[in-house]
Amino acid sequence: MRILVTGSAGFIGFHVARRLLEQGHEVTGLDGFTPYYDRALKLRRHEILAEYSGYAGHDVLLEDAETLASLYGKGFDEVFHFAAQAGVRYSLENPKSYIDANITGTYNLLELMRALPPRHALLASTSSVYGANAKIPFREIDRADHPLTLYAATKKSTEEMAHAYSHLFGIPITMLRFFTVYGPWSRPDMAPIKFAAALFDGRPIDIYNYGKMRRDFTFVGDLAEAIVLLAGKAPPRPGADGSGLPDIDSLSPVAPWRVVNIGAERPVELMEFVKTLEASTGRVAKCNFMEMQPGDVPVTYADTSLLSALTGFKPTTPLADGVAAFVAWYREYYRV
């Protein structure tokens, strides 16, 4: 199959692209290598993908509609869209980058899919869209219309833009809501790397909301497995045989579009994550307890009934194993 992966030099795009290449697919990777975090890490991920003969990587910004169109060419069998301005806190510092990458960038891609629809497009969204929703665990059919940050607002907008294109032009689209992903090749702006760096440097770890936070930490290997399995489950047209799963399905009543949570379904206290990291590194953390950060939520917790009904799969990697894999990679990559 011919597959387009946007954000292929990013944390999640890299893992998914590698898995698709291992399955023998032809993968075109696109990434703008934005300066949000260490470009060297993105370049290294791309170098690893380039070792596969089925891979062609391109340095392209989603906002550059003309170059994007020439890369899209005659279209793809499947499109995986991970490129985005990610990060909750940075959306308070540089809001415009979220509008450019997430809104304009996703719109440019949708326009290309309108002309030449793939068999299935899978677009990354986030648990942040649940925003002020206090009902846990989060289900795809719960309301998610009170975003707490511009990051969440732009990601929710991409879900809605995708729904409109799916409806108007018949593009089968699955929106993927990820929950705090961790593992080898992680993003340096996220807690696991920030915690590990502080531990190895002997610096205190900043713990927000005095540690009273729970995150549904999801191991990246489980996430990639779930995404690849979901690729084979393009949402049916409404009314088609077998469409819709009673009670839990987010399938649109009018379009081949649905949203699926991918999380561990096991929220972990921040201090449990720190203790697991301590056990894996053999270091003892000094903690700097801080207030809740603007836009943060106290808990994320995925209900993954829909994922398992569609694919028969649930993330199962125990936290200790996932953290050990992360620490092994961190030691090797950062030579500590």
Ligand X SMILES: NC(=O)c1ccc[n+]([C@@H]2O[C@H](COP(=O)([O-])OP(=O)(O)OC[C@H]3O[C@@H](n4cnc5c(N)ncnc54)[C@H](O)[C@@H]3O)[C@@H](O)[C@H]2O)c1
Task: Please provide residue 174's backbone torsions phi and psi, each rounded to the nearest 5 degrees.
Answer: -115, 125
Stretch that binds ligand X, among 59-67, 132-140, 252-260, 280-288 (CB under 6 A): 59-67
Q: Is 182 a catalytic residue?
A: no
CB 62 within 8 A of CB 90: no
DSSP string, 60-95: --TT-HHHHHHHHTT--SEEEE--S---STHHHH-H
Q: Which is nearer to ligand X, 124 or 255 (CB)?
A: 124
Q: Which is nearer to ligand X, 199 or 227 (CB)?
A: 227
CA 117 to chain CA centroid, nearest Å: 22
Q: Which residue in 20, 31, 163, 310 binds ligand X (CB under 6 A)? A: 31
55, 72, 90, 151: which one is catalytic? 151
Q: Which residue in 20, 27, 62, 224 binds ligand X (CB under 6 A)? A: 62
Q: Which residue in 157, 166, 180, 280 binds ligand X (CB under 6 A)? A: 180
Tell whether the torsion through CA atoms of 103, 189, 218 and 247 is positive or negative.
negative
Task: Dig out the tokens for 94 from the structure.
Answer: 């540089």
Stretch that binds ligand X, among 83-91, 140-148, 301-309, 322-330 (CB under 6 A): 83-91
Q: Which residue in 124, 226, 228, 306 binds ligand X (CB under 6 A)? A: 124
Contact characters 182-211, ligand X, x per CB under 6 A: -----x------------------------
Residue 82 binds to ligand X (criterion: CB under 6 A):
yes
One-letter identity of residue 206? D
Residue 9 binds to ligand X (criterion: CB under 6 A):
yes
CB 188 within 8 A of CB 38: yes
Residue 7 binds to ligand X (criterion: CB under 6 A):
yes
Task: Dig out the tokens for 191 from the structure.
Answer: 């807690």
The span from the CA of 119 to the CA of 53, in Å, is: 24
The span from the CA of 336 to the CA of 331, in Å, is: 5
Catalytic residues: 151
The residues of the shown chain that bind ligand X, judged by CB under 6 A, are 7, 9-13, 31-34, 42, 61-63, 82-86, 101, 105, 124, 126, 178, 180-181, 187
